[in-house]
Amino acid sequence: MNSKFDNPFPYSDDNKRYHTYNYYLRHKFGKKVYKVPLNIDLGCPNRDGTKGTGGCLFCSAKKSGDFAGDPRDDILTQYGEIREKMRKKWSEGLCIPYFQAGSNTYGDTETLRKMFYTALSFENTAGLSIATRADCIDEKKADLLKELSEKTFLTVELGVQTVHDETALKMNRCHTFADFMKGYELLRERGINVCAHIIDGLPGEDREMMIETAKVMGSLGLHSIKIHLLHVLKGTALAEMYLRGEFRSLEMDEYVNIVCDQLEVLPPETVIQRVTGDGARSELIAPLWSLKKLSVMNEIDKELGRRNSHQGFFNSGRSF
């Protein structure tokens, strides 16, 4: 336990008052573990006309894989190149191949099986992370994921973004909260770790709506969650809305307070994979303060300290 806290948080051995992914992986594997983002150039049912066209209004042309590998390269080449860059920061540690860009269960099951098992064979791997949409999971795909989960540490990352269908409709998600729950249940009943992605600052949403999304996520028994800040990126339909003045992006102090509010209602056991997101500097229109990622994370730590609070403060009905 961390004796620095007035109320020590059990999932921390530093100054963090929330259950960080770094803490979780370090205690699970006994050393540093980091993700290596890959791009296998799969499509999306919200781009090819199956469910919609154009994609979600906030999604970049790279399908949220702006930091992943070059899809023109095979995944072994991608893994090697990105891992080498990361080794400059972390000279030792294990890696998790991360199928990041696009909807990575939107394809033929046997093709996916080959890709996933190829990644499992890479040197120095500790598991797999697979990002997708919940409406791209059926019984057959879920069975494949269960098979993988029995062989390695697997996390399936599902973008829900918001529990409010009116917001999802405005964002051209072509994906409802019921769609999310259907895919999530297929995974949960097979014992698969699920990480949900949510976005703060979506047009039309106020603080209470964002906290409600966190509360609902906290009730589901998720393994982990990623809290993202809405980025306005060049070339997106969202950028056009922003430049027309149809909404404003969150200020840093607003975002910090909302994230702390959300952490307080999430169960302390839920792993927090992210408390803010990355936007490519060359593509980011707003908010520019988000480029100072470390500063944002530090402000979240400071705010929880000012509150003498921690993750789960209101969820558990008790303090530690």
First-to-last alpha carbon distance for the chain, in angstroms, is 10
What domains can you pick out in the chain, each with its CATH number? 21-307 (3.20.20.70)
Give the DSSP per-residue string, 172-200: T----HHHHHHHHHHHHTTT-EEEEEEEE
- pLDDT one-digit tens code per residue, 7-63: 578 999 988 999 999 999 999 999 999 999 999 988 889 888 899 888 899 987 654
- pLDDT one-digit tens code per residue, 117-174: 999 999 889 999 999 999 999 999 999 999 999 999 999 999 999 999 999 999 999 9
Q: Is the pTM of this model over 0.75?
A: yes
* φ and ψ at residue 158, rounded to 5 degrees: -110, 125
- pLDDT one-digit tens code per residue, 202-222: 999 999 999 999 999 999 999
Compute the distance between CA of residue 16 and CA of residue 47 in angstroms, rounded to an integer: 39
- Helix or strand holding residue 274 (H, E): strand 271-274
Share of the chain above pLDDT 70, in %: 94
